[in-house]
Amino acid sequence: MNSYIKTKTTLLLALLLFGLVTAFAEEQEDPEETRLREEMYKYFDTSDRLAFEDAVHQLRSYYKTMGKWHEMYTAWENEIVYDINNDHFYSALKKTEAMNDFIMSNNHMDEFYRMDYLMGMFYGTRNNIAMCKKYLDQALEKLKGRKEYRAEASNIYMLLANILAFDNPDSATISIDKCIALCEDNRDLSAALQMKCIIEFGKKDRTGFIKAYNKNSQIKLSDPKEYNPSYEDYVEQGMASFEGRFDDALEINSKMNNRLDQLLFLTKIYDMKGDRAAEAEALKTLLKAREKWYSEISSMEINDISNDINLEQMRREKDKAYDLMTYIALGACVLGVLFLSYFIWSRRRHMRELMEQNHQLILARDHAQEADRMKTAFIQNVSHQIRTPLNAVSGFSTILANQIDELADDERQDLAKRIEHSATIITNSLNHLITLSDVDSINMNNNSETINCHEFCREIVKEFKPMKQTIGFSYSSSIGQDVTVKSNRSLLKSVIMEILMNADKFTDEGGITLSSDMKDGMWLLSVTDTGTGIPEGDEERIFGHFTKIDDFSEGLGLGLTFCKNIALRLGGDVVLDKDYHDGARFIVKIPA
């Protein structure tokens, strides 16, 4: 149920803003306060982050000036929740820390529960349920005895129920029942009843679902202005499933905007329908979608951190330059009065030294920034490329363990093949990193090993099997069966297998061909595919470290670098055939 957090934070923004509207409904409001609040409300559900933040800052400044601290912190909380809702978690965490420092420095300890509330929400979005529950429980403890307890505790119990709905439905039921008991108006109550329906749907409890559904429907009919439709689509899918109208449930599901929520409910619908094959397929798609989302979040956080570091460096350089110019100006005034001629000579010498120092600093800064950029790219790439197949292994293993009886033989074989493929990706990635860390240390003592060219290729053909059933694999040779060469059999085999797996990765239809030829005293091993090919201008760049033509493809961008380095150590080379345009053709040259 953690994929619901984004929907929940959108609802929370609405509740926070609604709180600002109603908090002082009985008082005569300042027209300026009304204008600023409506300006913030206009942008809270849009992607215009700058406009929303500007509106929030103006409203916060107004409340600060008026001494309305509770309202000021509520507006500040809006800004943090907006960042969480739009996946700017690093920014949200920094703003939470800033709010914490402000509360402590101003001794507003009555507002300190907000820190635990926001941290709980932050950990909830990161799928860390234990830490999320810990902070939300701390927020509830700090709210005890406060006049805001009912409203704030209702929101916290709603969030807890939201997070635990499918992972721990019994605990979620306890939280949502407490939330319902604390609701003070039909707007909050209707949202809580819909969440109750979602939890009962996850538990397959028809009686509990119908009871909550009927109460929610009654509010919709009797008080439509206060009715909150936030989870209506989720609830209607559950009702259709309980009534056996699975086609209606699937149609509602297909119109959902949130992809993760859509897939999560799809697995539940197929589970209730008893369609195990469709359920397994939906679960596989959900695992892939979650991994993609986590990867995007990691990339955004790395970019946010990198931008923050760059801004901090620029600020420090600006401050240093300002301080330096201040000292120079002061010295110029003193020396100008006392020794004008000496000042001119000294100043010229000092400026020359300063320019040289600045030049050295610029060189050092550029070098540090480039190193930092390469480090960030490397960490991001390694993190994604190793974590993605690990998650695939975990997810597919879970399917095999939990649904072995429901899966057909070809489905089990397909899952086993995917697990094996993911394990191979991890192994190859780690091998490439270890090998390239010190290429010169590779044992080349077996370069004189006699290799039968034909038998070597037949062994490759026997071992290599394309992952995709839509492509074929063939072998051709123009040399005799008794022709031999002297080289390192193990390293040469690793080079050919790496190029074949690379061809398999970028070929969706057609075929892959391994060819063996002799020309000008060189044994030529060619791997030809009908895949996407290499864009013009990238023919040489692809052999560089961490270079990938497609950033979303598997691997660390080290495969061709590995092949090139090993081939050179064997006295040969790896080149791209630039005259072939129906895919890609890589030629491994080994001395005959």
Does residue 149 carry a pLDDT above 80?
yes
| Dist CA 167 CA 251 (whole Å) | 25
Predicted model pTM: 0.45
| Dist CA 203 CA 271 (whole Å) | 11
Does residue 6 carry a pLDDT above 70?
no
Mean pLDDT of 198-214: 92
| Dist CA 453 CA 485 (whole Å) | 7
In the chain, what percentage of residues exceed pLDDT 70?
A: 72
Mean pLDDT of 299-318: 50
| β-strands 449-452, 522-529 pairing | unpaired
Q: Are 562 and 512 in contact (CB under 8 A)?
A: no
| β-strands 471-477, 510-519 pairing | parallel
Residue 295's region, left for phi above 0, alpha for psi from -120 to 50, else beta, is alpha
Q: How far is CA 333 from each of CA 168, 169, 330, 343, rounded to the nearest angstrom?
A: 73, 75, 5, 9
Burial class (CB in 10 A: 0-12, 13-18, 19+), 470: exposed
More confident residue, 272 or 320: 272
pLDDT the model gives residue 140? 86
For 453-551, where are the alpha helices, taking DSSP H only?
453-463, 489-505
pLDDT category of residue 312 using cuts at 50, 70 and 90: very low
- What the block records as the tokens of 455 is 């038998």
pLDDT the model gives residue 193? 93
| Dist CA 274 CA 10 (whole Å) | 33
> Furthest-apart CA pair in the chain: how many Å?
100
pLDDT category of residue 435 using cuts at 50, 70 and 90: low
105's enclosing H/E stretch is: helix 89-105
DSSP string, 538-572: -TTGGGSTT--SSTTSSS-S-HHHHHHHHHHHTT-
pLDDT digits over 335-380, tens only? 655 656 666 776 677 667 767 776 777 776 766 665 555 555 555 5
Give the amino acid at 198: I
| Dist CA 157 CA 173 (whole Å) | 10
Does residue 330 carry a pLDDT above 90?
no
| Dist CA 570 CA 496 (whole Å) | 13
pLDDT digits over 287-304, tens only? 887 777 666 655 554 454
Of 195-199, 446-450, 468-472, which range is least confident? 446-450
Give the amino acid at 235: V
pLDDT the model gives residue 222? 93
